[in-house]
Structure 1
Amino acid sequence: MNAHSTEVRQKALTLLRNGTKGAEVARQLNVPRGTVSYWLHIDRSKRGECPGAHNPLCHRCDGTPLDVSTYAYLLGLYLGDGHISQYSGHRAPSLMITLDDVWPGIQDETEAALGKVFPENATCRVRRTGCHNIKVYSKHLVCLFPQHGPGRKHERAIALESWQQAIVDAHPWQLVRGLIHSDGCRITNWTTRMVGGERKRYEYPRYWFTNVSDDIRRLYTDTLDALGIVWTHCTRAGKPYNISVARRASVALMDAHVGPKY
């Protein structure tokens, strides 16, 4: 029997509605815990039982306090690997951030960030081949992420609103962390040089950020400029989508505030 068949899903929902814990349902039906959480969230959303479903609070609509440091991090994740979508049958749009399973720590941090920025809304994880989609449903997603629009992000203009820029100005490292955790990495490069007449191999760390959107790359480099980080623009395989940070002092600052992905 297919673990994701309609029959298994309905059996899971019956158990959940009768009070069985999600972990126990996952064990009984041999279904990933995140999938069970997702089924429960969708079921509750359709029945209007999600926290905040009737009167959800919003920083932009009613001045509800916002964890601005966490929001800056989440903004970076959204600009890198996130998108907002609305599916028929769902009461609210969803924000989905796709993250590689190689970095489980970043998946955990992303889900925690969603929970802090949207404390009244349940989060869930949906497993895909080699990755997980970290999701939250909220009627106010576009309020907090006005960069949403039709088409891909690199096909439309991306600019921060004044209130977003104020948050980034106050928490620039959090935006940089979010961008690196989504579309960047810390790698070790190498080159050779002549030392005493002998050619020797020399290794050095580098932070690498790749994004097709000119506007998103500019947001990244403008923030690096404000932090005093020296960067260079690199073209690889004919594609001018890469930003490199390799100067020793700049890498040391990035290590102190960002560090390797985990």
Structure 2
Amino acid sequence: MYDLDTRKHALALVAQGFSQNSVSKQTGISRAAIRSWLKRIEPLGYIQGTECPRCGGTPSIPDDPAAYSYLLGLYLGDGCVSPAKRGVYSLRIACADAWPGLIDACAEAVQRVRPANKVCRVQSQGCQYVTSFSKHWPCLFPQHRPGKKHERAITLESWQQRIVDASPWEFVRGLIHSDGCRVTNWTTRLVGGERKRYEYPRYLFANKSDDIRKLFTDTLTAVGVEWTTLARGSDPFNISVARRASVALMDAHVGPKY
């Protein structure tokens, strides 16, 4: 990994007319790295921003931004980042045993975001923790702070918002897979003197954090999904998607857990 100043210095030398081979010998940076920086300038400004404020380096740009958008949704719902040993952190996403397909999708997303790191599954009562270790998890999830998520502010960095804007459905799917569900509601109506039962699907999302609910509803609005707030007592913890056209959109892009 090379920090921001090192990258800038190497590209400045190339711009001055030095060959890649010469710059490599002067700086000790591989020619492959220099070639990649010439083709892709983002690492200097990183979708992720500038230097990592925690470690002083620049963490790898997610190879699969769509997978990151999905994983971000899972993290905000059922994930945590915890310190381990020697500056390494663990990312853990709790996934219920009832949804084996979700567990597989979560593990795949973690692997796509950090392909160089191993992903393991730790069995607990009623769930598995999809777990991976990296010193850069706090860099990739800057929402990591002490305390419960609903008791502190949760906002996205500008680079995270750009990824969500580019892959909104993956973000919605991650939030639904963590703190949401697709259910079938029913009601009865009197038709011609006879009471008939009608069933209709609905998506529900519940989270105590006002900020996380707003991230969810803002993204729904951006993709054209209509939603309403269902208050439990005086607490507006539940978001409902029940209109037929909006449910059809959710079915096409999210679907039920499996």
1:223-262 equivalent positions in 2, closer than 5 A: 223-236=219-232, 238-262=234-258
Secondary structure of the equivalent of 1:164?
helix
Distance in 1 (alpha carbons) for counterparts of 2:112 and 2:75: 15
Report how far residue 76 of structure 1 moved: 0.2
Q: After superposition, what is the alpha-carbon deviation per residue over 1:179-227, rounded to whole angstroms, capped at 9, x for unaligned?
A: 0001000000011112122221111000010111000000000000011
- Larger-Rg structure: 2
List runs of 5+ in structure 2 lacking aligned partners.
1-42, 49-57
Once residues 202 and 252 of structure 1 are traced to their aligned partners in structure 2, the CA distance between those partners, rounded to angstroms, is 17
Q: What is the CA–CA distance in structure 2 between the aligned matches of 1:93 and 1:193, rounded to whole Å?
A: 55
Are the equivalent residues in 2 in contact too, given 1:59–1:66 (CA < 8 A)?
Answer: no
Q: How does 1:159-170 map to 2 (within 5 A)?
A: 159-170=155-166
Give, in angstroms, the shift of residue 90 of structure 1: 5.5
Are 1:207 and 2:172 an aligned pair?
no
Tell me the equivalent position of 2:99: 103
1:81 matched to which residue of 2? Answer: 78
1:65: Cα distance to partner? 5.2
2:162 is aligned with 1:150: no
TM-score (norm 2): 0.76
Number of residues paired by the alignment?
Answer: 205
**TM-fit CA distance, 1:177:** 0.3
The 2-side partners of 1:200 and 1:231 are apart by 27
> d(CA) in 1 for partners of 2:61 and 2:187?
52
Match of 1:126 in 2: 122
SS of match in other structure, 1:121:
coil
Looking at structure 1, the residues matched to 235 and 211 of structure 2 have their Cα atoms a distance apart, in angstroms, of 16
- Runs of 4+ more than 3 Å apart: 57-60, 62-65
With over 3 angstroms needed to count, the CA separation of the structure-2 counterparts of 1:137 and 1:130, relative to structure 1, is same
Matched, 1:72 2:52: no
For 1:33, the equivalent position in structure 2 comes to none
The AA in structure 1 aligned to 2:224 is G
Q: SS of the counterpart of 1:228?
A: coil
Give the secondary-structure state (helix, strand or coil) at the position aligned to 1:207. strand
Match for 1:143: what amino acid?
C
CA contact (8 A) 1:93 1:141 kept: yes
State the AA in 2 paired with 1:219. Answer: L
1:185 aligns with 2:173: no
Encode CA deviations 1:161-192: one digit per residue, 9 max, x unaligned.
Answer: 11111111111000000000010000000111
1:185–1:90: structure 2 CA closer, same or farther, 3 Å change rule?
farther
Gaps of 5+ in 1: 1-56
Mapped partners of 1:180, 1:65: distance in 2: 22
Identity among equivalent positions (%) equals 63
- In structure 2, distance between residues paired with 1:180 and 1:225: 15
Q: Shift of the alpha carbon at 1:66? A: 2.7
- Give the aligned residue type for 1:192: T
Distance in structure 1 (CA, Å) of the matches to 2:199 and 2:239: 19
SS of residue in 2 equivalent to 1:158? coil
Partners of 2:77 and 2:207 within 8 A in 1 = yes
TM-score by length of 1: 0.75
